[in-house]
Structure 1
Amino acid sequence: MDRPCHPVNDSATRRLRAAALACGVLLLPLALPGCSIFDAPTVQRGNRVTEDQLKEITPGVQTRQDVQALLGSPTNSSTFGDPVWYYISSRTRQRPGRELLVTDQQTVVVSFDSGGVVREVKVLGPEEGKPVAMVARETPTPGNDRTLLQALFGNVGRIGPGASLPTSPGAPGAGTGR
């Protein structure tokens, strides 16, 4: 006579599967940050000049109008001296809880002569940049320096007995004496 076959530890197998599923659910958030869907997107900033566009600029031939038609308006221009246009661009990523990460930076310098004709075209990378030291000094402001407690309790006792009554004759409740 054949007897039906039943697993001996059916409840133990269920408990083991449930524990494995719980471990998988708990470990899933640890694996997700490595996925690319959580990576910060790359953002293009500024006017990016391509190599093909640079090849079309011939020093001594093109004028300011030609350069502007080809590359667009410059990011910045020189204030003093010979006219120079700067096309500054970078690719950045803003990562949560961290500083802005600059992945690729490029500056194209187009200098013109006094007649407005292109004299020189240079491409500068981050290695040509110079670090700028920040000054730690602060400009003093007039007034007094107050502590937190002085700021919180500074007005205690400054209010006089008639300060809560309106003083203008057209204000509601004025002249009632109440």
Structure 2
Amino acid sequence: MNRSKIFGIAAILAAGLATTACSSIREPRGYIVDSLLLGTVQPGIDNQRSVEDTLGRPTFTSQYGEPTWYYVSSTTGRKPFVRPSIREHQVLAVKFDAAGNVVSADRSGIEKVVYLSPDGDETPTLGRERGFLEDLFGNIGTVGQPGLGGQGGPGR
């Protein structure tokens, strides 16, 4: 083989590697949705035990109000060195009455996802602002040395 053929093959291989390295990686997260099983949960017929037997344990449950089980499923896509983004999102909310019977089973999608953007990179707290020197020298004199009877010594 001559050098031009070797160089051509190497260039084709390098281009192929470059294009595969930039492809998006799909990652399923949370509950893996099975549409056939989701359709079997019926209000008035099922109860908590039958729902758990059919769908498994929920992703999380409600803490207040009427008992609700949530099955959350997301599929994210990310390119190398980039933060993942949500491509698909589904939530199944199964509500129960006081006796544990299914009242409703509602599905929602990515249209109900709320994106929050924090305001700045600091968390506001109550109290006064301390400067660098106050942080550095703030404890001088507040802790007494052993045997000298300082204000904050042990046993005082």
| TM-score normalised over the length of structure 1 | 0.62
In structure 2, stretches of 5+ residues that fail to align are: 137-156
Runs of 4+ in 1 over 3 A off after TM superposition: 37-41, 139-146
Q: Percent identity?
A: 24
Larger Rg: 1
**Bigger RCO of structures 1 and 2 (CA < 8 A, at least 6 apart):** 2
| Counterpart residue number, 1:82 | 66
Judged with a 3 Å threshold, the aligned counterparts in structure 2 of structure 1 residues 52 and 27 are, in CA distance, closer, same or farther, namely closer
- Per-residue Cα deviation, 1:83-141 (whole angstroms, up to 9, x for no partner): 11110011223421111132221111111112211011111110122232423243469
Displacement of 1:47? 1.3
Judged with a 3 Å threshold, the aligned counterparts in structure 2 of structure 1 residues 26 and 52 are, in CA distance, closer, same or farther, namely closer
- Per-residue Cα deviation, 1:7-64 (whole angstroms, up to 9, x for no partner): xxxxxxx8xx3134224424531232334x8745432211123221122111012111
Aligned counterparts of 1:142 and 1:34: Cα–Cα separation in 2: 51
How many matched pairs?
131
Q: Is the 8 A contact 2:22 2:80 kept in 1?
A: no
Judged with a 3 Å threshold, the aligned counterparts in structure 2 of structure 1 residues 101 and 132 are, in CA distance, closer, same or farther, namely closer
In structure 1, stretches of 5+ residues that fail to align are: 1-13, 152-178
Aligned counterparts of 1:51 and 1:87: Cα–Cα separation in 2: 12
2:97 to 104, 113, 125: 113
Aligned counterparts of 2:94 and 2:88: Cα–Cα separation in 1: 20
2:19 maps to 1:34: yes
